[in-house]
Chains A and B, each alone.
Chain A
């Protein structure tokens, strides 16, 4: 059995007014309490907002205030108003007042006061995570759009730095190198300053294709010339170069 009273409610629980004060219902059993709470749940929201009506329920587990909002019931401790409210249905409230020694020690997330900021934080966290994932995906899309697997990517060449060594190799490699002596063959001409000329043998003589500058380096253990725009010329030996798998011999 429960001791039930209402505050700021008419006895039929249809109307709430701030000046109605307390109305004592005496002893009610669980069924009657449930019916009363279900009726209370349907109260006009405007009146609910203005009058703060509530039902006071006393049972073996303690004394509780029941308030409503948005057709939901919230159970508060009548003794400790700092305790968070718990959203329960009418039957659960009857159970809590009957059996539960500490009905309000539930997850604080159930408190309407605390749930809102927590939900907001969780929502913001999810939003930031989704935004970050979207931006990462965009980044990958842009990267993959502009990514090129370049067949002319320069190999890892170690450039020489010692002036005396560079000068000696430049002097040694300077000269004219040919793939052959017939029309269509190619020529690489290197001067001691590192300038490189690419020529081609034609029916009428030699035709200059491009000029470039070069630096001397090592590719693995072999010496090579690294041109600015035309790739790497490997120095096979004092008399032979390899350029894009064509062998050029000194003449």
Chain B
């Protein structure tokens, strides 16, 4: 009945102080969880923004090259839609390193003139085409973010649309 037996000094042996308590561990896990819950979506968003910026930059450079060709020759260069293949007529206009590298969304840039995409025929299109070793993302959120950044945010209209097999296309001429 002596309350002193329940004093903090008497109640806590060295053994009980040897590690973290469950409560301390739980609080640490909870804090880390909250930090992760904030950091992971933020990191994902930053990553997506970086990809969109990179793809936007590529498209600007590539579009300028094709438009330069068209102005000088009076028509778009021929092409057969082979993924990653530099159109033969574009030698000297295109930086093949930019053209051949995997796009930030996967797949390869593909020159696809006079082609059908989801019920419409377009005269000049840059398609991001899947290849077996590098499929194009099919994440609606990412594709919509790309469309919203450079176009109208609608897959069915504007310059950026979903094309053959839901691969994104950049329409240079409808």
Nearest opposing residue in chain B for A185, CB measure: B116
A238 → B minimal CB distance (Å):
21
Contacts of B139 in A (CB 8 A): 148-151
B residues within 8 A CB of A231? 165
Chain B interface, >50% SS class:
helix
Please tell me the number of chain B residues within 8 Å of chain A, measured between CB atoms.
Answer: 48
Q: What distance in Å separates the Cβ of B81 from its nearest Cβ neighbour in chain A?
A: 6
> Residue A180 at the B interface, CB < 8 A?
yes
A70 touching B7, Cβ below 8 Å: yes
Asked if A25 CB lies within 8 Å of chain B CBs, one says no
| Proximity bits, A65-91, B CB within 8 Å = 1, else 0 | 001111010101000010001000000
B interface list, Cβ under 8 A from A? 1-4, 6-11, 21-23, 25-27, 29-30, 32-34, 36-37, 40-41, 44, 78, 80-82, 112-119, 121, 138-141, 143, 162, 164-166
Q: Which of A29-37, A45-53, A55-63, A164-172 contacts B (4 or more CB under 8 A)?
A: A45-53
A135 near B29 with CB under 8 A, answer yes
Please tell me if the beta carbons of B10 and A49 are within 8 angstroms of each other in the complex.
yes
- Cβ of A69: which chain B residues have Cβ within 8 Å of it? 2-4, 6-7
Q: Which residues of A are interface residues toward B (Cβ below 8 A)? A: 45, 48-49, 52, 67-70, 72, 74, 76, 81, 85, 112-113, 116, 123-124, 126-128, 130-131, 133-135, 137-138, 140-141, 144-145, 148-152, 179-180, 182-186, 200, 202-204, 207, 230-231, 244-247
Pick the contact of A149 from B21, B81, B141 — CB < 8 Å? B141
Decide: A179 and B29 in contact? CB cutoff 8 A: no
CA gap between A133 and B37 in the complex, in Å: 12
Q: Is the pair B80, A131 in contact by a Cβ cutoff of 8 Å? A: no
A131 touches B40 (CB 8 A): no
Q: Which residue of A lies closest to B114 (CB)?
A: A184
Chain A residues near B4: list those with CB within 8 A. Answer: 45, 48-49, 52, 67, 69
Q: List the A side residues contacting B140 at CB < 8 Å.
A: 149-151
Tell me whether B37 and A127 are in contact (CB under 8 A).
Answer: no
The residue on B at minimum CB distance from A72 is B3
